[in-house]
Amino acid sequence: MSRNAYIVGTGHAVPDGIITNADLEKIVDTSDEWIVTRTGIKERRRVDAETASSDLVAEAVLNALDMAGWKPEDVQGIIVGTVTPDYPFPSTAALVADRLNMGKIPAYDFEAGCTAFIYGLIQAKAFIESGILDRIVVVGVDCLTRITNWDDRSSCILFGDGAGAVAVSSEGPGGRLGGWHWGSDGSLGEYLIQWGGGSRNPASHETVDKNHHTIYMEGSRIFKHAVRAMHDSCMEALKRDGTPKKDVDLLVSHQANLRIIDATARALELEPEQVYINIQKYGNTSAASIPIALDEAHRSGAISESSTVVLAAFGAGLTWGGMILHW
């Protein structure tokens, strides 16, 4: 008998600290009007000095487990998509598995920029449908404010911190993981990159002096690719799923720029109420943006028991991906 994978719990966590557009006007040459018109962002969250990604992950996972009715020891594996782990190693996933007393389960981090959560769902689907695992937690987390270049007005206005998690099970009911699409193009990698701190340019006084431990982004070049990648990922995932776009109830996409979300919604011929948007509150939270939006949509009733939901993302790599969920 063929096995399916179902999202049976969702959760998220964001820090309390808020940075408004007015706060940013004090540190770079920008305006609330420019930021809202060009991006849709009004404010974003920022972790305090003591908080790291694993703290947000632990809270998001507990929320997802609570909805699923799972105890930590029910979880058979945890995977965390992030570009801002607590440490380069050990993995944030292993730290959280230990902190929540999940036992000696497989736990690892992986990196696909803002597309990581969709990459994670595709991994979870493969693990469950193949019979390797029955219950897995998939997390997207980033604290991008830790690697933001606060001198660069074209990027520092975009980013915020947060975590989102889902509990995925071989047993429904829940949101069944359906058709998917994923891809990458490393030839475009230099458009969105952290130059320092890896094996190419290990941390040194020079890399710190040159600000190479922060995000370097060529926003307008990425914009073009993002619009195309989100569109193509949605269409390919729908095709693989055998679902026509007229059957889509809700788009929950990566929250990078309102104009990119709008372009994707137009391609799917969706009405405004069929698009979940929270970019105004959180900005771009990278790997966390889709699971945060999914949890909010789920808890607010925007996703109901028979909803067909499209997820779509793009990010550093460049990477992109899409997935169809059937509730």
> Alpha-carbon distance 240 to 112, whole Å?
22
Q: Answer yes or no whether residue 192 interacts with ligand ACO by CB under 6 A.
A: yes
Q: Answer yes or no whether residue 110 interacts with ligand ACO by CB under 6 A.
A: no
Q: Answer yes or no whether residue 280 interacts with ligand ACO by CB under 6 A.
A: no
Among 17, 18, 30, 201, binds ligand ACO (CB under 6 A): 30
Among 222, 237, 250, 261, binds ligand ACO (CB under 6 A): 222
Among 154, 207, 243, 278, binds ligand ACO (CB under 6 A): 154
Q: Answer yes or no whether residue 257 interacts with ligand ACO by CB under 6 A.
A: yes
Among 18, 25, 34, 146, binds ligand ACO (CB under 6 A): 34
Nearest distance from C-beta of residue 150 to ligand ACO, angstroms: 12
Q: Answer yes or no whether residue 157 interacts with ligand ACO by CB under 6 A.
A: yes
**Rg for the chain, CA atoms, rounded:** 19
Nearest distance from C-beta of residue 310 to ligand ACO, angstroms: 18
Q: Which stretch binds ligand ACO (CB under 6 A): 131-139, 197-205, 214-222, 243-251?
A: 214-222
Nearer to ligand ACO, 76 or 214 (CB): 214
Q: Answer yes or no whether residue 113 interacts with ligand ACO by CB under 6 A.
A: yes
> Alpha-carbon distance 160 to 261, whole Å?
17
Among 42, 99, 146, 153, binds ligand ACO (CB under 6 A): 153
Nearer to ligand ACO, 100 or 138 (CB): 138
Q: Answer yes or no whether residue 315 interacts with ligand ACO by CB under 6 A.
A: yes
Catalogue the active-site residues: 114, 254, 284
Among 10, 123, 145, 286, binds ligand ACO (CB under 6 A): 286
The binding site for ligand ACO (CB under 6 A) comprises 30, 34-35, 38-39, 113-114, 153-154, 157, 192, 217, 219-220, 222-223, 226, 256-257, 284, 286, 315-316
